[in-house]
Structure formats: structure tokens, C-alpha cells
Amino acid sequence: MTPLGVVEYAERGAGEPLLVSHGIFHGCDGGLLSGRDLPSDRRVIAPSRFGYLGSSMPPGARPADQADAFAILLDGLGIDKTDVIAFSAGVTSALQLALRHPHRVKHLAVMSGNLPGSPTAVAPPQAARLLYRDLAMWALKVFARPILIRLMGVPKGFPLTAEDARFVSEMVDSIFPIAPRAEGALFDAFISDPDVNDYKLEAITAPTLIVHAKDDPLASYDAARRAAARIAGARLISPESGGHLMLGQGEAVRTDLAAFLAGRVAA
């Protein structure tokens, strides 16, 4: 228990700490899954953000509060400074961590990020709230799976390899059940994601890597390119394909991340 309520987290591995900020409809479990390409010699710490699984939703919460909750968790774990990797909707609170607690962030990696000016940084119509329920998402999973896969960011007509298909299925399964994630997902879509538009990215001092596929159908590649230009010294890696989940880019992403976190530039 913390001043911001319960902060649930999962971890794996040993070594230098690496904090993971998961995407929408996930939680600590999805944080570990999304981080499948992270270096194996790290202590990966994946909190469930506000309203996901076992983590509380503080009254009137904002992404700045989530960043503070990350800092409180690091305090409880005895970690002074950590590398941070954020996925999709989890980028908003990771940016806040870098802005509010710059001394806590060693390196910041942004993967398929929700960034200023992206379509994901606009609150959806109120009618979209109907999708944030088990029955609606289950119906898509069973009767309209191609639509659900598109909603998760796989480009239309993307040629899935057997490995890609397995990973997509794993990602689809990982968001269920919806009920213990719905409060957090609604917070992401209607409050946290749009909040990013007002951030002064120029004030970020942590070394920053942005990885964003050019064919991402959810979060805008152009927004990623603009964000990289605003953050001093930021490096942008732009796979030609892979969509929001960066399918088929696992080995390249793993190499780039390892080099970045080690403080060197990948070949």
C-alpha cells in the first residue's frame, strides 16, 4: 500500500533494473509479455498501471500521479535509478516519470508510443466505452477475430509468419478477462492518452530511443518522428513494417535495445 493506493507489480530476471510501462488492456502480465525482446540479463520490473488488475485507481488520477507511483515503487524496491521502456499507451506515464523525476531515469525507450499529435492521443467517442467490456471483446475474439487483430495494431493484409501468428494470438489472449483491466483502459483512452499533447518534450534529459514502425495503423509514425526531433539527442529507429506490435522485428529490436541501454549505438 502506498499514498496512491495499491501498486501491483511482477518481475523476472536479475541484474540492472528495467522498468516496463505496459500498454492498454494489459497489466503487469502484459508488461512482461510485451517485453519479450528485452535483454535477458536485466531485472525486469512490470507494474500494473492505475486501474489494471491489482493496482488501485486513485480519485482524480492523472498521468503525473502514475509517474509518482512508479517512483514510490522504485523507492520500495530500493532502486535509485533505472532504465525505462514504455509501450503504446504506457508511454504517457513514462514521459511523466522522465519529466517529474529525471534523476530516476537512466535511459528511456519508447516503443510504438502514444505521442503528441497521434490519433491515439485523442479521446474516442463516448460510444466506444461499450467495447471496454468482456462480452463485447469476447464477441470480437470469437466472431470477428480479424477486426480485433486490426484493433491491436496488425496492418490490414500483413503477411503473418507462424511465429507472428503465435505472438498475435498470445497478445489477444493476454487482454482477457477485460473486467479487471477496464478501469485502467478507460483511464488510458479518455484521460491519459490525450494528456500527452501538452507535454514539453524538450525538457526530457534522459537519453531517449524511439522505435516506431512506419506502417503502424494505430499510433502515428509522423508523431514519433516529430517527438524524436523535440527530445534533445533522441534516436529514432523506423522499421519499414511490423505494425503496432512490430511483428518480425524481434531480433533487430533486441539488438538495438541492448546497444542503447548499454550506452552504445547499434551497427
pLDDT digits (tens, 9 = 90+) for 189-201: 999 999 999 999 9
Q: Please say if the pLDDT value at position 177 is more than 80.
A: yes
* Residue 267 within any structural domain of the chain: no
* CB burial string 133-166: b at 16+ within 10 A, e below: eeeebeebbeeeeeebbbbbbbbeebeeeeebee
Grid cell for residue 15: 541484474
Grid cell for residue 234: 533522441
What's this model's pTM, rounded to 2 decimal places? 0.95
Residue 263: its pLDDT value, please? 84
% of the chain beyond a pLDDT of 90: 90
Average pLDDT, stretch 126-154? 94
* Residue 220 within any structural domain of the chain: yes
Q: In which band, very low, low, confident or very high, does the pLDDT at 1 lie, cut at 50, 70 and 90?
A: confident
Q: Cis omega before residue 177 (within 30°)?
A: yes
Range(s) of the domain holding residue 142: 9-261
More confident residue, 92 or 250: 92
Q: Please say if the pLDDT value at position 35 is more than 80.
A: no
69 phi/psi in degrees, rounded to 5: -65, -40
* Residue 86 within any structural domain of the chain: yes
% of the chain beyond a pLDDT of 70: 99
Q: Look-up: residue for cell 518522428?
A: 225
Q: Look-up: residue for cell 488492456?
A: 25
Q: Please say if the pLDDT value at position 265 is more than 70.
A: no
pLDDT digits (tens, 9 = 90+) for 134-143: 999 999 999 9
Q: How far apart are CA 166 and CA 172, in angstroms?
A: 10
* Residue 69 within any structural domain of the chain: yes
Q: What is the DSSP letter of 38?
A: S
* CB burial string 107-130: b at 16+ within 10 A, e below: bbbbbbbbbbebebbeeeeeeeee
Q: Look-up: residue for cell 495499491?
A: 6
Q: In which band, very low, low, confident or very high, does the pLDDT at 39 lie, cut at 50, 70 and 90?
A: confident
Grid cell for residue 150: 486490426
Q: In which band, very low, low, confident or very high, does the pLDDT at 250 lie, cut at 50, 70 and 90?
A: confident
Average pLDDT, stretch 119-127? 95
* Residue 266 within any structural domain of the chain: no
Q: Residue 191 corresponds to which amino acid? A: I
Kindly report the average pLDDT of the chain as a whole number: 95
Residue 40: its pLDDT value, please? 79
* Residue 4 within any structural domain of the chain: no
Average pLDDT, stretch 215-230? 98
CATH at 157: 3.40.50.1820
Residue 115: its pLDDT value, please? 98
Maximum C-alpha span of the chain: 48
Number of structural domains in the chain: 1
* Residue 2 within any structural domain of the chain: no
Residue 267: its pLDDT value, please? 42
Average pLDDT, stretch 130-136? 93
List all residues 6 or more positions away from 194 whose beta carbon is below 8 Å from its beta carbon. 121, 122, 123
Lowest mean pLDDT across 73-77, 210-214, 215-219, 249-253: 249-253
Q: Please say if the pLDDT value at position 65 is more than 60.
A: yes
* Residue 96 within any structural domain of the chain: yes
Q: Please say if the pLDDT value at position 171 is more than 60.
A: yes
Residue 266: its pLDDT value, please? 47
Q: In which band, very low, low, confident or very high, does the pLDDT at 117 lie, cut at 50, 70 and 90?
A: very high
